[in-house]
Structure 1
């Protein structure tokens, strides 16, 4: 009998699929070498071929989803919605980063100081959410 997919699996899968489709949609406008990592000042410091640049983040997202599912199965949180929220939020975060990388490679200005602050805020919010759900609710 086939295992029924949870809403978390469906949402995460949809985010991964949309992330992959975004790269395919802009494929023809991307340079042959795609910047995938940037210094704190916003200067690219690592490039890969276009196929790798388009596929890398969706592949990392899928691997991350598998690791999260295994981790939450091995050590489930006391409040089940924490696992679902953290999983979907992580997929959305990674998708957003991929979108910003694609935008930079398409020639759009990406404010890396705001990206860094946003990443830190996202981390604090996720940790606070998990702690509140586990210890306050």
Structure 2
């Protein structure tokens, strides 16, 4: 179990690091105000300064990682791999969202209908995975 958690921690850390590097890499091309939240139609409705927009998601990812680690330590799943998979998948999902936000702010077309569908599919797959792993005989 400890080995799987360790690999999940490393993978999560790498994803957070890559997410941070992505924002810093495109820093000079980003506008001074970055859209970070969008309506379902893809219209931005929340803007923040560039420094906040670049570091906010990596900070939220780190906080989420710590919350997940605490939750899984307090109430561990019956199948240890579930905690590792959910943790890494959540970090990957958050990193992907940050990438899409950066892409939109760099004027790349982002298909918000597909983003919404992808988000819902990700949530269903994660819940189904956790339930299947927990209740498999």
| TM superposition shift of 1:76 | 0.1
Q: What secondary structure is seen at the aligned counterpart in 1 of 2:127?
A: helix
1:40-90 residue CA offsets vs partner (Å, 9 max, x unmatched): 000000000000000000000000000000000000000000000000000
Aligned to 2:69: 69
1:111-132 residue CA offsets vs partner (Å, 9 max, x unmatched): 0000000000000000000000
Runs of 4+ in structure 1 over 4 Å off? none
Aligned to 2:47: 47
Q: What secondary structure is seen at the aligned counterpart in 2 of 1:107?
A: coil
CA distance, structure 2, for counterparts of residue 136 and residue 72 of structure 1: 19
Q: CA RMSD in A?
A: 1.1
CA distance, structure 1, for counterparts of residue 15 and residue 47 of structure 2: 24
Q: TM-score scaled to structure 2, two decimals? A: 0.96
Aligned to 2:7: 7
| TM superposition shift of 1:96 | 0.1
Aligned to 2:123: 123
Aligned to 2:95: 95
1:3-23 residue CA offsets vs partner (Å, 9 max, x unmatched): x98111100000000000000
Q: TM-score scaled to structure 1, two decimals? A: 0.96
Unaligned runs of 5+ in 2: none
Q: What secondary structure is seen at the aligned counterpart in 1 of 2:77?
A: coil
| TM superposition shift of 1:136 | 1.5
Aligned to 2:27: 27
Q: What secondary structure is seen at the aligned counterpart in 1 of 2:73?
A: helix
CA distance, structure 1, for counterparts of residue 17 and residue 60 of structure 2: 12
Aligned to 1:36: 36
CA distance, structure 1, for counterparts of residue 37 and residue 100 of structure 2: 11
Aligned to 1:109: 109
CA distance, structure 2, for counterparts of residue 40 and residue 126 of structure 1: 22
